[in-house]
Structure 1
Amino acid sequence: MPLAGRSALRRIAARGTAMAIGAAMAVIAGLSAAPSVHASPSATGALRWAPCDDPAQPGAECATLSVPVDWAHPGGPRLDLAVARRKATDPGARVGSMVFGPGGPGDSGVDMVVGRISRFSPEVRRRFDIVSFDPRGVGRSNPVTCSDDLLAERPSPELTSQADFDATMAYNRRLRADCRARTGPVFDHLDTAQTVRDLDALRAALGERKLTFHGSSYGTLLGAQYAETYPRRLRALVLESVMDHSVRSTRDFLQSEAATAEDSFQEFVKWCDGAADCALHRRDVRTVWQRLLAQAGRGELENPSKPGTSLSSSDLVNKIAFRKFYQADYAGLATAIAEMDASKPMPASPISIAPLPPATPVFCSDWHLPVRDYQEYASLVAMMNTTAPDLPYLLPIHMTAACLGAPTANPQHRLKARGAPPILLSNALHDPATGYSWAVSVARQLGRSGVLLTYEGHGHGSVTNGPCMENAVDRYLTDLAVPPPGTRCPAVPS
C-alpha cells in the first residue's frame, strides 16, 4: 500500500485486499476520504441515526455504537464503532436488518453501505435494511495508527539468512510497540472473537431478536465465529468466499493459499489459449510472464500506474495479477501483460518494499503461524514456489513474515456451531484467495447446518454472479429456504 508523506503520525483507514489471505488480503490500498460519522448512541444503547456526511451518496445514515475495548472487562475503556445503513426500499415488504461483514481484514463496511450498495441484489435491498460497520481497528473505528517512517522500513520477505530472520523479528517488535503506543489499548484487542461480541451488541442495538448476516471473505470468519458463540441468536447466515479457520499449521495454510492462487493462473492460461480476444492469444503466456517477473526482479519493469518508477516482482504478482484474478478479469490481465511486455526495460533501479496495511495486526491476532528460524522459513518459501511456480512471494508469505513473534488471541480451531440454523456457504470453484476446498471443509465442520452453494466460475465473491446464484441467496435470506444439497450454478461471462 503506497504511503504518502513523511509525517511521523498518520491515521490510516486501511482496506484489505484482498488475497485471502483469503480474500481479504489481496487488496492493499488505502481508503479514500470517507463520510464522517456524526451521531452517538443514547444511554440505552440505541443507535442515533443521522445522514452520512457525503452529499454525493444520498440516502445512507450513519451512527456510532459504544463497545468495550476488552469484552472481558466491560466496565473498562470503550471505543466507538462506526455504523451505516440504508433502509429497505420497500418498507411494506421489509424483513428486518441484514448486517454485512466486510473483508480484508481492513475493509470498511461503512464505505460499502454508503458508496457501494449495488454490491447487494435489488431484492435484498428491497426487503432489508442493509447495515454494516467498520470493525475495531479499521477505518473510523479507532483505526490502527503507526509511524509512516517505520512502516516504510519494512524488511523484504525475501529473507536470505538467519540474520535477516532475526532482523525481521526485531522490526516486528519495534513496529508493534509503535502502533500500540499510537493506537491505544484497542491494539491488544483486535481479534475476531472480540468483534463477535461487537456484532452481537450491534444486533441488540438494531432491535433484532436474531441476526441476519452476510459475511464476505474475511467477514466469513466473523460470521462463522458468531454462529459458534451465539448459535441460537442467528436467523440467517451467508458465508461468501469462505475462510477455513481450522487450517492449523503454517505449512498447510501457505500451501493451500499457494495452490488456490496457482489454480487461478492456470485457468487464466487456459482461457487465453482458447479465447481469440486474449491479447496474448497464440503466444506462450508463461514465457511472457516469466520474462516480466525477471525484469521486475532486476528493477527494470516500469510500473504502469506510476511511470518512471519500477514495479517489483511481488507487486507484479499481488497488485497486478492477483487483483485481476479477484475480478475474474482475464482479458484485462492479458492486456496489461502484453502492454508491459511491449514496453522497453527501464534502467535497473532499487526495488522498494510496499508497506503492509496497518490492519495486519487484526490478521496476526487471528492466525497463529509460527516459524522457528530461517531454515524453516526458507523451506516454506520453497514449498510455495513449488506449489505456485508462476506466482512467487504471494501475499500470504508477506503476512506470515509480518506476524512473526506476534501474540495470537484467537488462534485456529475447528468450528463447532451446535444448535445453529441452516447456514448458506457460497464459493466459486476457482477463487484465487479462498479456495473451494476451504468452503467444503467449513461446510463439513458445520454438519447438518452447512449448505454449500457452488458457483462453477472464477473470482472472489459469487452471490450475485448470475440469476442462479442471486435467486438462491435471495430466497434463503428472505424466506429461509436453503437450496438442495449439491446445488451448483453455471459460470456467467465476466
Structure 2
Amino acid sequence: MPFRGWPALRRTALRSTAMVAGTAVAAVAGLAAAPVANAAPVTTSALRWTPCDGPDHPGAECATLTVPIDWARPGGATFGLAVARRQATDPGARVGSMVFGPGGPGDSGVERVVGGISRFSSETRRRFDIVSFDPRGVGRSNPVTCSGDLLAQRPSPEMGSQADFDATLAYNKRLRADCRARTGPVFDHLDTAQTVRDLDALRAALGETELTFHGSSYGTLLGAQYAETYPHRVRAMVLESVMDHSVSSTREFLRSAATAAQDSFDEFVRWCADESTCALHGRDVRTIWQGLLTRAQRGELENPSKPGTPLSSADLVNRIAFRKFYAVDHAGLAQAIAEMASSSPLPASPTSVSPLPPTAPVFCADWRLPVHDHQEYASLIGTMNRAAPDLPLLLPVQMAVACLGAPTANPQHRLAVRGAPPILVSNALHDPATGYPWAVSVARQLGRSGALLTYEGQGHGSVTSGPCMEHTVDAYLTDLTVPPRGTRCPAVPS
C-alpha cells in the first residue's frame, strides 16, 4: 500500500530530475531468457556505493543496478534501478543485508533509507545492512510520467450513467497513451513479476546467497511472489500488512477492502465513546460525520488545507479519515472532524476528486478488476456502501476505475510456494487497508511455510508496535526463530 500502501497512491508522483548519487552498473548479461524459477544471474558485478545526494542524511549510500526492461529479453534494453542502504550499526554482529520492499505502489524505498530507517527496530538496524530500492516506474527508477494537465482531468468516480462510464474508458485510454509516450518502454513492464526478477538481481549484486526480505503492504506482493519463484533462495522473509493476491473477483476485492476500512472507522467511534479526551466525546460521531459527507457532496465543506475551496466527499473519506487510520491517530481525526463540523458552509459549488498519481499503472499491471458496464459498476458501489456505510468512494474503487480497459500482465492467483523456509506473516487485527482476513488467507496459501503473527491492535504496519512484536520479529530475522503457531501480541496504546 500500502500501501506504505494506499497513501502512496494519494500523492502525485513527480518525475525526479535528480539522479541517484554514485551511479554504479551491475551487469546482467547472460540471464535466462524467461523468468524460470531457478535461473540466476550469471555475471553480476558488485554495486559501487557512494554517499547519497544531500548533506542532511549522513550514512546513507546510493548505487544503481542496471536491469533489463523486460526480463523475457535479458539481452535487450536496460534501465537503472535506484538502490540505497544504511550499513549495520554493529559491524561485528552483522548478519547480512535485509532488503525492504516498499509499499504503495509508488513508495520510494530509496527515500525510506535516505530519510532514516526508524520503522525498523534498533536490533534489526544493529544486525543488518538495511537496503531498499525504487521499484521500476517509481521515484528514480525510470518513473512513470504523465501529463499533469491530463491527470487533473480525471473524471469523477461518481459515475451516474453509461455515458459517464464510456467517457471514463475513453479517458483511461487517452491517459495510458500519454503516460506510455512520456515514460518509455518500461511502462509496459511494471508488474510485480518483473520486479521479482529485479529483486533477485539485487540479491546477487549484494553478494547474498539467500535473501532476507521485509515487505510492507504492497511490498508483500513482491515478497510472496519471490518466495513462489525462488523458494530455495529465501533465508528469512517478513510480510507485514499483507495484500492477498488470490482475491480474484472485482466484487470480493472491493467488499473486503471496504470491510477493513469500515472496521477501522468503527474502532474510532468506539474509542471516542470511551475516551474523554476525544474532541467529539459524548456526541453522536456518526451523525456528525454523515453531516460532513452531505456538505462535501454539495460542495459546501471547506478544504482544511486549501481555504476557500471545497472538499469533495471522496477526499474527505480518503485524505482526512483514511490516512488517520494508518497511524491510529484517533485524536487527530476527532479534532479535524470537530473543526470542520463547526466551520461555516461555503456556497454550494461543484467539487473535483484529487488526481491519482502516475504510479496507478503499477497497480493495474497486477490486478485484473473488470467492470463491464455502468449497471455492474452501480452494483459494485452498492456492495461497497453496504460494507462501509460511513466511507463512500474509498480509494480501492477509484483504483478499479483507473484500471478500466488496462491490460494486466500479472493477474491474481493463489500462491504455490514449495520448499521455502518459514515466512513470517504479520498483520494487525484492525488494519484499514489490508484487512486481517487477507493475512490469514496468505498464511494458509503458504502452507507449511506460513507463520502468522497477529497484532491485537490497530493500524497499517505493526512490526514495531510494542516489545512483543519487536522481539518476535527480531528473533525471527536474526536467529531464524519461528514463533509458536497462533502467536498473538497485545495492543499497545497509540
Q: Could you tell me the TM-score, scaled by structure 1's length?
A: 0.95
2:426 counterpart SS class? strand
Task: Give the equivalent residue in structure 1 for 2:31.
Answer: none
Q: How does 1:67-466 map to 2 (within 5 A)?
A: 67-466=67-466
Whole-Å Cα distance in 2 between the matches of residues 115 and 54 of structure 1?
Answer: 11
Which residue type is aligned with residue 78 of structure 2?
R
Whole-Å Cα distance in 2 between the matches of residues 251 and 170 of structure 1?
Answer: 23
Q: Once the two structures are aligned, what percentage of the paired residues are identical?
A: 76
Q: Displacement of 1:271 after TM fit?
A: 0.7
Q: Does 1:45 pair with 2:45? A: yes
Gap runs ≥5 in structure 1:
1-16
Moved more, 437-446 or 44-53: 44-53
Whole-Å Cα distance in 2 between the matches of residues 309 and 253 of structure 1?
Answer: 33
Instruction: Summarize the Cα distance change of 1:225–1:101 in structure 2 as closer, same or farther, 3 Å threshold.
Output: same
Task: Give the equivalent residue in structure 1 for 2:32.
Answer: none
Q: Displacement of 1:35 after TM fit?
A: 7.0
Which residue type is aligned with residue 160 of structure 2?
T
Whole-Å Cα distance in 2 between the matches of residues 49 and 64 of structure 1?
Answer: 9
C-alpha contact 2:443 2:451 (8 A) present in aligned 1: yes
Task: Give the equivalent residue in structure 2 for 1:5.
Answer: none
C-alpha contact 1:26 1:395 (8 A) present in aligned 2: no
Q: Displacement of 1:27 after TM fit?
A: 5.0
Q: Displacement of 1:347 after TM fit?
A: 1.4
Cα shift readout 1:3-55 (whole Å, capped 9, x = no counterpart)? xxxxxxxxxxxxxx64x5x9335651246879741222255532110000021
Which residue type is aligned with residue 84 of structure 1?
A
C-alpha contact 1:241 1:461 (8 A) present in aligned 2: yes
Q: Displacement of 1:116 after TM fit?
A: 2.9
C-alpha contact 1:228 1:415 (8 A) present in aligned 2: yes
Q: Displacement of 1:348 after TM fit?
A: 1.7
Q: Displacement of 1:354 after TM fit?
A: 1.1
Cα shift readout 1:450-474 (whole Å, capped 9, x = no counterpart)? 0000000000000000000000000
Task: Give the equivalent residue in structure 1 for 2:490.
Answer: 490
Whole-Å Cα distance in 1 between the matches of residues 63 and 12 of structure 2?
Answer: 23
Instruction: Summarize the Cα distance change of 1:486–1:441 in structure 2 as closer, same or farther, 3 Å threshold.
Output: same
Whole-Å Cα distance in 1 between the matches of residues 241 and 116 of structure 2?
Answer: 18
Q: Displacement of 1:321 after TM fit?
A: 0.3
Instruction: Summarize the Cα distance change of 1:42–1:398 in structure 2 as closer, same or farther, 3 Å threshold.
Output: closer
1:257 counterpart SS class? helix
Whole-Å Cα distance in 2 between the matches of residues 80 and 189 of structure 1?
Answer: 14
C-alpha contact 1:26 1:433 (8 A) present in aligned 2: no
Cα shift readout 1:174-219 (whole Å, capped 9, x = no counterpart)? 0101100000000000000000000000000000000000000000
Which residue type is aligned with residue 40 of structure 1?
A
C-alpha contact 2:371 2:377 (8 A) present in aligned 1: yes
C-alpha contact 1:26 1:318 (8 A) present in aligned 2: no
C-alpha contact 1:245 1:414 (8 A) present in aligned 2: yes
Which residue type is aligned with residue 481 of structure 1?
T
C-alpha contact 1:25 1:395 (8 A) present in aligned 2: no
Which residue type is aligned with residue 308 of structure 2?
G
Whole-Å Cα distance in 2 between the matches of residues 151 and 365 of structure 1?
Answer: 19
C-alpha contact 1:26 1:322 (8 A) present in aligned 2: no
C-alpha contact 1:314 1:394 (8 A) present in aligned 2: yes
Within the candidate set 17, 26, 29, 2:11 is matched to 29
Whole-Å Cα distance in 2 between the matches of residues 353 and 450 of structure 1?
Answer: 40
Cα shift readout 1:405-445 (whole Å, capped 9, x = no counterpart)? 10000000000110000000100000000000000000000
Instruction: Summarize the Cα distance change of 1:444–1:332 in structure 2 as closer, same or farther, 3 Å threshold.
Output: same
Q: Displacement of 1:484 after TM fit?
A: 0.5
Give the number of aligned pairs: 476
Whole-Å Cα distance in 1 between the matches of residues 433 and 448 of structure 2?
Answer: 26
Q: Displacement of 1:350 after TM fit?
A: 2.3
2:5 counterpart SS class? coil
Q: Could you tell me the TM-score, scaled by structure 2's length?
A: 0.95
Whole-Å Cα distance in 2 between the matches of residues 42 and 229 of structure 1?
Answer: 22
Whole-Å Cα distance in 1 between the matches of residues 468 and 346 of structure 2?
Answer: 48
Task: Give the equivalent residue in structure 2 for 1:474.
Answer: 474
